[in-house]
Chains A and B, each alone.
Chain A
Amino acid sequence: MNSTVAMLEAVSKRYGRHRAIERVDFTMRAGERVALVGHNGAGKSTLIKLMLGLIRPSEGCVEVLGADPGSRASGVARRSIGFLPENVVFHPSATGAELLAFYARLKRQPVASNPALLERVGIADAASRRVGTYSKGMRQRLGLAQALIGRPRVLLLDEPTTGLDPALRQSFYRIVGELAADGAAVLLSSHALAELENTTDRVVVLDHGLVVADGALTELRRRSEAPTRIRVTLTDAHAAIGPGLPRGNIAWARISDVVWEASCPELAKVEALRDILGTALPLADIAVIPPSLDQIYAGFLDRKAAE
C-alpha cells in the first residue's frame, strides 16, 4: 500500500528568468491523498504538468509509475494516470456520454463501463444531454468521470473543487477517499484550505516555486506555531479572568461582557485550560479554536518572508 508511485528529485522549471519551480523534492505513495496548496502562480499547475510530461524539467528528474512522463516510453504508464485540468471547457454540442466514450476509446478502455462512471459522479441522468446545457458543477463532475476512466493508479486534479457548492465538494472528497482506499495516489491542488481538513493525508505548501512545508496537517499545525485560541464564556459579567491565574503569562482579553479570549501556542493549550478549570470562575462555556489552515499557511509564508 505504501509503494512510491511518483517522485520528483531536485526538479526545477524555469521560463526564461522566471522560476516556476525551484529544486522541488516530492514523492507520492499509493493510497495517499496529497493536497498541493499555494496562491496563484506558486507553481501548483507547473508541478502537475511536469508530472504529466506536458513540460520538461529544466533540471532534476521526474518519475511517475516507473517512467519519465515526458519520454516516449511513458505511453503505457499514462493509461494509469487520471488528470482533471483546471477550467476545462468541453465541446458544448457533444453529450456527456459521447465525450466520455471518446476519452475511454483514447485510453483503450471499454466504453461499456462509462455509465457506471457517470453514475458514480452523479450525472447519469444528464448523460444524453449536451454539455452546453450543463452547470459548472456538472461539467466538473464530467471532468472527474473522465479522470476516473480505467481505474487510474495516479490521479492529478488541478483545482477540482473551485466553483463547486459545499454539497458537491463533500461528494467530491468522498470519491477521492474511495479512490485512495482503493490504492490510488491522489494529488489535488487547491487554495480553499479549510476543506482539506480531514479530507487529505498530507499537505504540501508551495510558495514562489519552493516547497515551504510538507507533512500531515497536525504536524504542520504544530510546526507553524500559529496560536490556538481559547474562548471562555462566563455566567457573571462582573467576574474577570486575569491576574489571579497561576499562569499569568497568558494574556486574556475581554471580547464582550462575559466572553474572554486568549491566544496561546499549541503546546501551552492544555496548561491554559487546566488553569481556567482550576479556578472558581463561573464558567458557562469553553471553546478551543485550533488555528485554521489559512492561518497555518499564512504563518509559513510569514516565516519564509522573514528569512
Chain B
Amino acid sequence: MRPVGIIALRELADGLRNRRVIATTLLMATLALTLALLGSAPTGTVGVSALGVTVVGLSSLTIFLVPLIALLIAHDAIAGELDRGTMTLLLSYPDARWQVLAGKFIGHVLILGIATVLGYGIAGLALAYSSPVAEAGAAAAFAAMVGTSILLGAAFLALGYVISVSVRDPRTAAGLAMGAWLFFVLIYDMALLGILVADQGQSLTVGILNLLLLANPTDIYRLLNLTSVSNTSLLSGMAGLTDQVRLDRITLFAGLVAWIAVPLVAAGAIFARRQI
C-alpha cells in the first residue's frame, strides 16, 4: 500500500500547490453562502428551517457543480500525464498500474472532499450562527448532504478515469468528459421526463422507473438528499415522486457506491491492458 499513499499525497500536494483546492473551495463556499443567505430570506420567521431550505438549494447546486469539478480533475489524470511523459516514467517504476490509479483516486477524492467540507461547511456554520433555531434533523440532513456530495464526486472521478485511460489525447478526454457531464446532469433527466410525460404511465412501470433512476448517479444523489427529510422533500417538489419511487436509502446508497466501484474497476482493467 505504500506506493498508493505516496502517489495520493503527491496528488493532494499538487492540488494544494496549483491552487485547485483553494479555487474549488472558494467557488463552493461562495455559491453555498449565496444560496444559504438568499435562501433563508423568504423563510422569514414562519418556522421553516433555513437549514432545510439550504439543503435543498445546495443539493441542486451540487448536482451541477460537483460532477463538473470531478470530471475536470479526472479527465486529465492519465491522458494528461501520458502526454507530458510523466506517466511513462511513473510506470517504469516498480509499482503496479492499479497502485498508480488507486493513489490518484484517493488523492483526488481528498481534494474534492476538502473543498466540499470546507466550502459547504462555511455556509452551514454561517447559517447555524445566523438562525440558531434549527429544525430537528436538519443538521443531520446537512451532514448527509455533504457526505453524499463527496460520494457523487467520487463516482464522477471514476467515470473521468474511464475516459482518461481510454484515449490518447488529453483534449479528446476533455471533450468526452464534457459530453459525460451534459449527458448525466442535463440530458438524462430531460429525456426521462419527456418519456414519462409521453408514456402517460402506459408501459413504464414503477420498477422500470426505479431502475432508470438508479442508472444515473445524479438521480440517486437527488433521491438521497431531496427526500431524506419530509420537509426537504416537500420544499424540493420531490414529494410526488417519493410516493411513487420505492427505493430505500440502503439501495440508493449501494447504487451510489456501485457507481464509484464499477467505473473504477473498469478504468483499472483498461489501464492494465493499455499499451503505453
Contacts and interface: CB of A to CB of B under 8 A. Distances in A.
Contacts of A108: 2, 94
A54 B91 contact: yes
Contacts of A87: 85
A106 B18 contact: no
Contact of A76 (B7, B88, B94, B275): B94
Contacts of B85: 85-89
Contact of A105 (B6, B84, B88): B6
Interface string B13-28: 1100110000000000
Counting chain A residues whose Cβ lies within 8 A of the other chain, the interface size class is 20 to 34
Interface string B191-207: 00000000000000000
B10 interface: yes
A81 B89 contact: no
Contacts of A91: 14, 86
A94 interface: yes
Contact of B94 (A90, A102, A106): A106
Interface in B1-59: 2-3, 6-7, 10, 13-14, 17-18
Contacts of A15: 275
Interface residue SS majority, chain B: helix
A52 interface: yes
B84 A88 contact: yes
Interface in A67-101: 72, 75-76, 78-79, 81, 83, 85-91, 93-94, 98
B6 A54 contact: no
A103 B91 contact: no
A299 B160 CA distance: 50
B93 interface: yes
A229 interface: no
Counting chain B residues whose Cβ lies within 8 A of the other chain, the interface size class is 20 to 34
Given A72-B96, A78-B94, A106-B6, A94 B89 contact: no
A142 B92 CA distance: 17
Contacts, number: 65
A54 B92 contact: yes
A49 interface: yes
Given A55-B276, A78-B94, A106 B89 contact: no
Residue from the set B10, B14, B276 with the largest chain A CB neighbour count within 10 Å? B10
Interface string A103-114: 101111000000
A281 B91 CA distance: 65
B169 interface: no
A102 B10 contact: yes
Residue from the set B92, B93, B94, B96 with the largest chain A CB neighbour count within 10 Å? B92
B135 interface: no
Given A55-B276, A94-B14, A89 B94 contact: no
Residue from the set A81, A102, A106 with the largest chain B CB neighbour count within 10 Å? A106
Interface in B56-94: 84-86, 88-94
A85 B88 contact: yes
Interface in A121-138: none
Contacts of A75: 94-96
B92 A78 contact: yes
Contact of B92 (A52, A56, A89, A90): A52
Nearest to A79: B94
A146 interface: yes
A76 B18 CA distance: 34
B6 A107 contact: no
Given A83-B89, A106-B6, A49 B276 contact: yes
B134 to A, nearest CB: 41
B94 A107 contact: yes
Interface of A: 15, 49, 52, 54-56, 72, 75-76, 78-79, 81, 83, 85-91, 93-94, 98, 102-103, 105-108, 146
20 contacts: A49-B276, A54-B275, A54-B276, A55-B275, A72-B96, A75-B95, A76-B94, A85-B88, A87-B85, A88-B84, A88-B86, A88-B88, A88-B89, A91-B14, A98-B13, A103-B93, A106-B6, A107-B93, A107-B94, A108-B2
Q: Top 6 nearest A-B pairs by Cβ distance? A: A88-B85, A89-B84, A54-B276, A83-B92, A78-B94, A75-B94
Given A88-B88, A106-B6, 19 more contacts: A54-B88, A55-B275, A55-B276, A56-B275, A72-B96, A78-B92, A78-B93, A79-B94, A85-B85, A85-B88, A88-B84, A90-B86, A91-B14, A93-B17, A94-B14, A106-B7, A106-B93, A107-B94, A108-B94
